[in-house]
A and B are shown apart, each in its own frame.
Chain A
Amino acid sequence: MGQIENMKIQDNSSGPKRLNAALAVEFSICVFLIVVFCLMFAHSYDWEIEAGLFPRLISGFGVVSMLAYLVQIAWRNIKGKDGPAGRILDIPWAKVAGDSRSVRRTAIGVIAWALAFWLGIWVLGFHIAAPIYLCSQMVIYGGVKKWIAALGGAMCLLIIILVYDRLAETTWNDPLLFDFAKGLF
């Protein structure tokens, strides 16, 4: 399957173990989704027929396609066959160069920073979180000088104020920290 190829790109040292782990994850997700579809199917009987018929069709279709996919991965695993890896309508995963440890570290770092950024928006708001995120990323992953990164952060704030505040009249969320501070004082 496609994942085998990708795993080989990322880590050659422990292929079979990683493959089994990936299959186990895929299998668990399939089973979980089958349970969800079954619950959806059962829940659809709570509504009148006009509202419940379409969900019944969709969840039934979901169960059938999930079961077919489970059979396919089991069959391929038994036969040791690889499925087609190409995706003609989609952009394939570009090969990642470098040793697997540094790639993994970068991947975890990028995801963690992005999650922190979105959490920061909730807690501090866009006007603080976005410039800080941009500035720190430019220093850590972009390798630019700190004053250039600071300039980038300032530009980001300026764009938020001029384009999104003034021009697009965006209604921002109330940052959690400010709400908390208002409660204190």
Chain B
Amino acid sequence: MSILDAYAQAASLLFQPLPMLALLLGVVVAMIGGAIPGGSLPTLIILLGFAYHIDPVIGIAIVVGGAVTNTADSVPAILLGVPGGATGQATILDGYPLSRKGEASRALAVSYLSSLTGGLIGAVGFFFSIMAAREIIRLFGSPEFFMLAILGITMVAIVSSGAFLKGLVGASVALALTLIGFDNITGTLRYTFDVEYLWDGIPLIPVLVGLFALPEMFNLMLSGKSVSEQADAAIKRTNFEFKYMNAVKEVFRHRWLVFRTSIIGLVVGLMPGVGTVAAHWLAYTHAYQSEKGAKETFGTGDIRGVIAPDAANNAIDGGQIVPTLAVGIPGSSHQAILLAFLVLMGFVPGPEMLNANLHITLLFGIGIVIANVIATGLAFYCTPWLARISFIRPGVLVPCIIVVVTLSAFRANMSVIDLAIMAIFGLLGVFMKIYGWPRPPVIIAIVLGQQLNQYFWLSINSFGWRMFERPQMLAIMAICFVVVWLAIRVQRSTSETVASTMVEQASQQAGKTDSLLGQEKEVE
């Protein structure tokens, strides 16, 4: 399939009333979920539960719309000083002080527009990267995909911020779980212990709900009381009057910062496993070091401190989706869930997604562009309501979400045993979240386990152990080592720079307070 044909096919599939409506629905739900602190992942899982049983194009439209939670993430970050998801911490540093100064509307408007610009730059990057990935992937056979899957799991474990042995342990347990059930290649029943339910293996959606959605809700229930109190105060002090032209002018004035930080987001996204948080902080520290006068004003409510992380935040989506679709290595929990959705729908990440199913891959890209535009438009009009969602007490919000995720988990196989699986993985997820065990390697191992088995069998049968002598295989191993080394270096330097930035900002603010106190004493 030529790339132009694929574009035409993707556009003709998406620009139909039902898929567009589904995309809109996904964006609306994502905006609501993004506005809830810690709500973006459960929202994506809820959408996944709905999208699973319907037409693939409509399902993809819902899930792509649902993945654009980044735009709404800035609402709790700016208004309440609480991150909406894994990202948002850097936005808080300057967004929250702006909100306290009564400039929340300005900060939000600029945040939305820089997110939109970042999202669009990310999408352009996605289209170019897909073309390059298509050429490279042609050189690969089953041994290379087997090695990529192994290295993908290992890489995500290694870059899990130092907890790499925990990541490897989690991944090995998850891989062992994927062995349960009917082996499609040899027809052998493995580790089923004569239990009929286990013949199809461990179902994916209850595992996702248990590992990702339930722990977030449990945490929100325990920590969320103060958030709703803060929301009350924030709504009272904010007028929510957006001056659109002023926001456009402000983003245009800092266009090069938007461009640079979007490129940072895109490049970090293209490096499998580095993560959204690293891009977010890298963009913020880049602005802190490169912008004029930033060292004096950052941390006290400088609009550039909102522009930089938010532009990178949305640009990263376009970058991350390339390794997710092309080689099955997601760069964040959101991408891991997207990957799980693809596998559930019967699509296999790898060469198929760049050849026979290229139109589906491009559907993701076009969907991201449209979802970003819709999300920005909605954000401008719905921010007061989004802010009020944060005001809802966790005691009301959490049970509603638990009921919906339970329904999602049940609907996957219409089996009540799935709820027991969900409960077991829910407890495991809570344990992992509290005790610092990274969850993405587990989910990637569960998602890729079956394919790993298949690629291993094909490689052994076709090449034997000589598969390790193939030049492509050696090249992949070398590239993966370089990427892991780069990822660790990027993360270390980001955390060091973030720490020094925070210290510098704190000492500057302390200096300002001292001089003010000195002036007051002189006056007295």
Q: Which residues of A contact B (CB under 8 A)?
A: 1-3, 5-6, 22, 26, 30, 33, 36-37, 40, 43, 47-48, 50-51, 53-55, 57-59, 61-62, 65-66, 68-69, 72, 83-98, 103, 106-107, 110-111, 114-115, 117-118, 121-122, 126, 130, 133-134, 137-138, 140-144, 152, 156, 160, 164, 168, 170-173
Task: Name B435's contact: one of A3, A50, A122 (CB within 8 Å).
Answer: A3
Contact B53 A168 (CB under 8 A): yes
Contact across chains for B38 and A142 when beta carbons are under 8 A apart = no
Q: B505: CB under 8 A from chain A?
A: no
A118-B162 in contact given A62-B176, A91-B38 (Cβ < 8 Å): no
B131 CB-CB contact with A under 8 Å: no
User: Could you say which residues of chain B place their CB within 8 Å of the CB of A118?
Assistant: 406, 419-420, 422-423
Determine whether B1 belongs to the interface, using a CB cutoff of 8 Å to chain A. Answer: no
A90 CB, min distance to chain B CBs, angstroms: 5
Q: How many CB-defined contacts (below 8 Å) exist between A and B? A: 223
Contact status A54-B406, CB under 8 Å:
no
Supposing A88-B161, A96-B222 touch, asked if A142 and B395 sit within 8 A by C-beta, the answer is yes
When distances are taken between beta carbons in the complex, the residues of chain B under 8 Å from A87 are 160-161, 163, 436, 438
Q: Looking at chain A's contact residues, is the secondary structure mostly helix, strand, loop, or mixed?
A: helix
Contact call A142/B159, Cβ cutoff below 8 A: no
Contact residue among A66, A133, A140 (Cβ-Cβ distance under 8 Å from B172): A66
Closest to A164 in B: B407
Task: Provide the B51-72 mask, 1 if CB < 8 A to any CB of A, else 0.
Answer: 0010000000000000000000
Given A91-B85, A122-B419, A134-B400, are A48 and B188 neighbors across the interface (CB < 8 Å)? yes
B460 neighbours in A (Cβ, 8 Å):
53
B515 contacts chain A at the CB level, 8 A cutoff: no
CA distance A22 to B437 in the complex (A): 14
Chain A residues with CB below 8 A from B423, complex form: 114-115, 118
A97 and B225 form a contact (CB under 8 A):
yes
Q: A134 and B403: CB pair below 8 A? A: yes
Q: Does B195 belong to the interface (CB within 8 Å)?
A: no
Q: A53-B460, A58-B172, A118-B423 are in contact. Are A91 and B333 (CB under 8 A)?
A: yes
Which of B172, B396, B434 makes the CB contact (< 8 A) with A3?
B434
Q: Indicate whether A110 sits within 8 Å of B221 (C-beta atoms), given known contacts A134-B403, A137-B399.
A: yes
- Whether A97 contacts B406 by the Cβ 8 Å rule is no
Complex Cα spacing A28 to B163, Å: 19
Interface size on B (CB < 8 Å)?
A: 84
Residues of A within 8 A of B111 (CB): none
Cross-chain contact A40 with B176 (CB below 8 angstroms):
yes
Contact of A94 among B186, B219, B393 (CB under 8 A): B219
In this complex, the member of A59, A92, A140 whose beta carbon has the largest number of chain B beta carbons within 10 angstroms is A92
Contacts of A86 in B (CB 8 A): 161-162, 495
Contact of B457 among A50, A144, A152 (CB under 8 A): A50
Residues in A whose Cβ lies below 8 Å from that of B168 = 65, 68-69
B273 to chain A, nearest CB (A): 7
How far apart are A89's CB and chain B's nearest CB, in angstroms?
A: 5
Q: What is the distance, in angstroms, from B72's C-beta to the closest C-beta of chain A? A: 16
Known contacts A88-B160, A90-B438, A118-B419; is-contact A103 B222 (Cβ 8 Å): yes
CB distance from A96 to the nearest CB of B (A): 5
The complex places the Cα of A53 from the Cα of B460 at a distance, in Å, of 10
A89 touches B219 (CB 8 A): no
Could you write out 30 A-B pairs with CB less than 8 Å apart? A2-B435, A5-B436, A30-B169, A33-B169, A43-B191, A47-B188, A57-B456, A68-B168, A69-B168, A84-B161, A86-B162, A87-B436, A88-B278, A89-B332, A89-B333, A90-B440, A91-B433, A93-B434, A94-B223, A110-B398, A111-B427, A118-B422, A134-B400, A138-B396, A141-B398, A141-B399, A142-B395, A142-B396, A164-B407, A168-B53
Q: Does B482 contact A (CB under 8 A)?
A: no
For A30, list chain B residues within 8 Å (CB).
169
Check A133/B163 contact, CB under 8 A, given A37-B176, A170-B411.
Answer: no
Chain A residue at minimum C-beta to C-beta distance from B41: A91
Q: How far is the CB of A80 from chain B (nearest CB, A)?
A: 18
**B422 to chain A: closest residue by CB:** A118
The docked-state distance in angstroms from the alpha carbon of A152 to that of B401 is 13
| In the complex, B173 has a CB within 8 A of chain A | yes
* Bound CA–CA A59/B190 (angstroms): 13
Q: Contact at A164–B190, with CB atoms within 8 Å?
A: no
In chain B, what residue has the closest Cβ to A135? B399
Q: State in angstroms the CA–CA spacing of A171 and B495 once bound together.
A: 50
Which residues of A lie under 8 Å from residue B414 when comparing CB positions?
170-173
Q: How far is the CA of A127 from the CA of B222 in the complex (A)?
A: 28
A88 to B159, CA, bound (A): 8
Closest to A65 in B: B168
Instruction: Say yes or no: A89 contacts B190, CB within 8 Å.
Output: no
Residue B440 contacts which of A89, A106, A152 (CB distance < 8 angstroms)? A89
Task: A47 to B407: give the CA distance in the assembly, Å.
Answer: 38
Give Cα A58–Cα B394 distance, bound, in whole angstroms.
Answer: 41
- Closest chain A CB from B317 CB (angstroms): 15
Which one, B218, B399, B437, contacts A138 given CB within 8 A? Answer: B399
Quick one: CB contact mask for B112-155 with A, threshold 8 Å, 1 for yes? 00000000000000000000000000000000000000000000
A114 contact set on B, CB distance < 8 A: 214, 402, 423, 426
